[in-house]
Amino acid sequence: MFQTLYSYFWWERLWLPANLTWADLEDRDGRVYAKASDLYITLPLAFLFLVVRHLFETYVATPLAGLLNVKEKVRLKATPNAVLEKFYAATSKHPKQADVEMLSKKSGCTVRQVERWFRRRRNQDRPSLLKKFREASWRFTFYLIAFIAGMAVIVDKPWFYDLREVWKGYPIQSVLPSQYWYYMIELSFYWSLLFSIASDVKRKDFKEQIIHHVATIILISFSWFANYVRAGTLIMALHDSSD
């Protein structure tokens, strides 16, 4: 069954123009073509990105925050209360008025004290300004370097100036080492974002961020499988500039 699904997935009529087979895209005569197996390297590279990010945030972003006078706001901590903490963790961080009155009776606090406790408790869970700064610094640094590197990869190519060159001879288009590494680094970075999303600053669009990262990984991977490398490098450079 697995072999059948595998055959259907890599069906040549689905991926390639008529009269072409995967055999036509095998490396020969010094010409190298994009292969699905190339992408295995992106997973270990993603974990390497996580290590580099930790070092960057610790030894670059944190001192930079001090130089730019990025300071934390003083936040009042909620008084330890087992009843309120249990409701906060298991039921809701934003109790309704009926819940507030019920918790007031159970905890022995006034309604106003319960409301104040939940407000302070939510503030405790909010990411610090330093955490936001370090995360933003890391992303800014990566996208800046990736954009500059991407431009270096494509600025001297004919398809940068004439989009008709993107499809000239497609899909029999060999992959240059610079294009290979541009793809691998970009894909590895988005894998690392997906792996770290649970520990990153949690925004209101948390679910949308997960969908975005997954969609980006799929798009980059499939463009590599189908050898849309020329178009892919142009699109990645465009997105890096906006990011």
pLDDT digits (tens, 9 = 90+) for 20-70: 777 777 888 778 888 888 999 999 999 999 999 999 999 999 999 888 888
Evaluate if residue 92 carries a pLDDT over 90.
Answer: no
Q: Can you give the three-state secondary structure of the chain, one letter per residue?
A: CHHHHHHHHCCHHHHCCCCCCHHHHCCECCECCCCHHHHHHHHHHHHHHHHHHHHHHHHHHHHHHHHCCCCCCCCCCCCCCHHHHHHHHHCCCCCCHHHHHHHHHHHCCCHHHHHHHHHHHHHHHCCCHHHHHHHHHHHHHHHHHHHHHHHHHHCCCHHHCCHHHHHCCCCCCCCCHHHHHHHHHHHHHHHHHHHHCCCCCCCCCHHHHHHHHHHHHHHHHHHHHCCCHHHHHHHHHHHHHHC
More confident residue, 9 or 173: 173
CA distance 119 to 132: 21
Q: What is the pLDDT of residue 231?
A: 93
Evaluate if residue 77 carries a pLDDT over 80.
Answer: no
More confident residue, 123 or 236: 236
- Nearest residue to 210 via CA among 221, 222, 198: 198
Q: What is the pLDDT of residue 73?
A: 72
Of 8-12, 81-85, 117-121, 145-149, the least confident: 8-12
- Over residues 74-96, mean pLDDT: 78
Q: Which domains does the chain have, with CATH numbers?
A: 18-70+128-242 (no CATH), 82-125 (1.10.10.60)
- Over residues 6-17, mean pLDDT: 76
Evaluate if residue 75 carries a pLDDT over 80.
Answer: no
Evaluate if residue 13 carries a pLDDT over 80.
Answer: no
Q: What is the pLDDT of residue 99?
A: 81
Q: What is the pLDDT of residue 20?
A: 78
Mean pLDDT of the chain: 86
Structure tokens at 5: 């699904």
- Nearest residue to 189 via CA among 145, 151, 225, 238: 145
Q: What is the pLDDT of residue 142?
A: 96
CA distance 237 to 243: 10
What percent of the chain has a predicted confidence (pLDDT) above 70? Answer: 99
Q: What is the pLDDT of residues 155-206, one digit of tens each?
A: 999 999 999 999 998 888 889 999 999 999 999 999 999 999 888 777 777 8
